[in-house]
Structure 1
Amino acid sequence: MAAGVRNMLIAFLLPLPSLLFFFTFVRPSNQDSRSTVSSWCAAHPLLVANLVFLFNVDLLFWLIGNLLSNHWLIDLYWTVIPVMLLHYYRAHPAAVADAARSAVAVALTWVWSARLTHNYLRREGWQWGKREDWRFAEMRGQYGDAWWWMSLVAVYLSQQVFLIGVCLPMYAIHSSDHPWGAWDVLATVACVAGIAIAHFADTQLHRFVATNEKLKKVGEPTVATLEEGLWRYSRHPNYFGEQLWWWGLYLFAWNVGQPWMLVGPLVNSMCLGYVTVLVERRMVKQQHRAEAYKLYQKTTSVWIPWFRKPLPQAQPTTTTN
């Protein structure tokens, strides 16, 4: 309990440097006394976002993670940083945007964040900093004594590339007053669909895990693989929903003349593809579900929900006398 309260306080206090910087230099209350720093921030919004991320997230989170021997904070803040970036780009002195597109982006990002934050805390049993991401835990074992400095690159600097990249459309939205159009409608539909699919997939997974835990407690055999609901049509529907959200957000940027920003969702999708491989390798290494999961792989689409394939029929063997 004490550790949970400590971690909760840390989580709430850590973004204070970014908030202080925002209200002091990016959006000071007295516009007449704008400083040289404020003017410089207004001229370089993307550079400022990266610098603040470097000092407040990469370095400060890394320091706290090493002190706690647990880099759990970046998982929680994956759900919060996009909201902070969105409002930074929106409130920036140089911002210009179509009012409808901006309002839709704000509403969708808050819904996405609330969903992902709820799922993270639910998965962790509503305990702050309960555990470290299993991928970080494995790397900790691989790198040994070098992990204290390797974690800066593997956990934080890499996350900066992903997060700043996938959030670039939020900057594009607030850098153009191009009027709302049909592509914005398509982008909105894709974002809503992505959020909904990820929500239902994560909820179905949570129920599956909870049910298996109850079966373990009473000594009953557990179910090896989740193959119901959205998981009947995709092995990773939660990943598919998350990617659909980011690609839908990219459509807003494409519509306002920033097609190059596809680099963000593209790199993120490539990373998630690698994570998918790691997850599936981990699944088939678990003796109690290896055989069932291998069959699941043969019949079910990896990401995009699709109809299941029938299992190949065993060919009858013939013998000759």
Structure 2
Amino acid sequence: MANSNFKNAVLAFLAPIPSILFYLSFLNNHSHQNSSTGSFSPLWAWCYHHPLLLANALFFFNVNVLFWVISQVLSNHWMISLYWTVIPVMLVHYYRIHPLADYNWWRSIITILMTWVWSLRIAHNYLRRENWQWSSREDWRFTDMSSQYGKHWWWASFFAIYLSQQVFLIGLCLPIYVIHSVNVPLNIWDFVAIIVCISGIAIAYFADSQLHNFASRNNELKELGKPVVLILDEGLWRYSRHPNYFGEQLWWWGLFIFAWNLGHGWTFVGSFLNTLCLAYVTKLVEQRMLKQDYRAEAYRQYQKTTSVWIPWFKSSATGGKDKKP
């Protein structure tokens, strides 16, 4: 097990190397071209003039194609879940060091620091949930889809998992591209965006930690042969059925505020699609909970009294606010 874990960790670190090497080659050639009279090749010229298209091309070949091939060899799609936490960090640095980048230094640094904090939080939660094992299991939603597609899953997974992830991740990170494309001074809306982003990270962190402690406590009770706690109804989960999803949305909508403030309101599309996706995931999660007979009735009551996403006061099952402290 330890040897397999080490191999998967090495594989995860090596996986993005092709994109990194290609991008460094581009930067090196651009630097050399600027310091000499040599001509810029058509390939490097295209990379220079189309930073957003280049990001999509690198994602397509390195993540969609390479990760998909690896998943076919391993019969497991675990790596894309891990890289959901890494790719935004890679993109924020990619956009910052691209030769066409033009940005306010403070806005860029603040965005980079917050993106790192977001990434470390979500990566920590992912690895903690997997008991610090690399490739211990794939996302249960992928497993469910594999059952639905059957023998066609080997090729359908390319579109259902990898190509769709490109749409979401590149779309969600469009504000990061805008931040490094527009150089104007900070204003009050930047501080609003910062507050929203940090609030989202904090809410998601505490919600995930409370969920992890709940699951760990139930595992201990199972080992002792004692009844488990049916519903997590404490902390943030007392006021929202999915506070972790709420926090995650705040983070991405906070980034959008940066872009909107810079005159690029069209970038809402990424956050909007993510919200629609989380709405669907919320439905799947709740259906999964209701299929567990031993807690189905308790969860139905929880649904009746607790807000879906936005933390709010408890309601009674028959309507009206709960008067209990």
SS of the residue 2:221 aligns to: helix
| Alpha-carbon distance between aligned partners in 1 of 2:69 and 2:85, rounded to the nearest angstrom | 20
Asked whether the 8 Å contact 1:234–1:306 carries over to 2, the reply is yes
Would you say 1:216 and 2:217 are equivalent positions? no
| Alpha-carbon distance between aligned partners in 2 of 1:21 and 1:114, rounded to the nearest angstrom | 26
Which among 235, 248, 256 is matched to residue 254 of structure 2? Answer: 248
Question: Which residue of structure 2 aligns with residue 233 of structure 1?
Answer: 239
Which among 67, 78, 100 is matched to residue 73 of structure 2? Answer: 67
Unmatched 5+ residue regions in structure 2? 320-325
Would you say 1:198 and 2:204 are equivalent positions? yes
Would you say 1:109 and 2:115 are equivalent positions? yes
Question: Which residue of structure 2 aligns with residue 130 of structure 1?
Answer: 136
SS of the residue 1:137 aligns to: helix
SS of the residue 1:253 aligns to: helix
Unmatched 5+ residue regions in structure 1? 314-321
Please show how residues 1-321 of structure 1 align to structure 2 within 5 Å.
1-26=2-27, 28=29, 30=32, 31-32=34-35, 35-36=40-41, 37-312=43-318
| TM superposition shift of 1:42 | 1.3
Asked whether the 8 Å contact 1:250–1:265 carries over to 2, the reply is yes
Asked whether the 8 Å contact 1:25–1:35 carries over to 2, the reply is no
| Alpha-carbon distance between aligned partners in 1 of 2:299 and 2:129, rounded to the nearest angstrom | 22
Residues 16 and 281 (structure 1), Cα distance of their counterparts in 2 relative to 1, 3 Å cut = same
| Alpha-carbon distance between aligned partners in 2 of 1:129 and 1:93, rounded to the nearest angstrom | 37
Residues 78 and 34 (structure 1), Cα distance of their counterparts in 2 relative to 1, 3 Å cut = farther
| Alpha-carbon distance between aligned partners in 2 of 1:87 and 1:78, rounded to the nearest angstrom | 16
| Alpha-carbon distance between aligned partners in 1 of 2:261 and 2:39, rounded to the nearest angstrom | 33
Question: Which residue of structure 2 aligns with residue 319 of structure 1?
Answer: none
| Alpha-carbon distance between aligned partners in 2 of 1:312 and 1:71, rounded to the nearest angstrom | 43
| TM superposition shift of 1:27 | 5.1
| TM superposition shift of 1:39 | 2.4
Residues 27 and 201 (structure 1), Cα distance of their counterparts in 2 relative to 1, 3 Å cut = farther
SS of the residue 1:241 aligns to: helix
Provide the TM-score with structure 2 as the length reference. Answer: 0.94
| TM superposition shift of 1:5 | 1.2
| Alpha-carbon distance between aligned partners in 1 of 2:200 and 2:27, rounded to the nearest angstrom | 32
| Alpha-carbon distance between aligned partners in 2 of 1:180 and 1:106, rounded to the nearest angstrom | 15
Deviations 1:258-315 (A, max 9, x none): 00000000001101100000000000000111011000000000000000101228xx
Specify the code of the residue in structure 1 equivalent to 2:188.
Answer: A
Specify the code of the residue in structure 2 equivalent to 1:11.
Answer: A
| TM superposition shift of 1:34 | 7.5
Specify the code of the residue in structure 1 equivalent to 2:3.
Answer: A
SS of the residue 1:97 aligns to: coil
| Alpha-carbon distance between aligned partners in 1 of 2:22 and 2:92, rounded to the nearest angstrom | 15
| TM superposition shift of 1:26 | 3.7
| TM superposition shift of 1:38 | 2.5
Specify the code of the residue in structure 1 equivalent to 2:246.
Answer: F
Asked whether the 8 Å contact 1:27–1:93 carries over to 2, the reply is no
Question: Which residue of structure 1 aligns with residue 323 of structure 2?
Answer: none
| Alpha-carbon distance between aligned partners in 2 of 1:306 and 1:13, rounded to the nearest angstrom | 44
Root mean square deviation of aligned Cα: 1.2
| Alpha-carbon distance between aligned partners in 2 of 1:148 and 1:52, rounded to the nearest angstrom | 22
After TM superposition, where is structure 1 displaced by more than 4 Å over at least 4 residues in a row?
Answer: none
| Alpha-carbon distance between aligned partners in 1 of 2:19 and 2:209, rounded to the nearest angstrom | 32
SS of the residue 2:225 aligns to: coil
| Alpha-carbon distance between aligned partners in 1 of 2:27 and 2:277, rounded to the nearest angstrom | 32
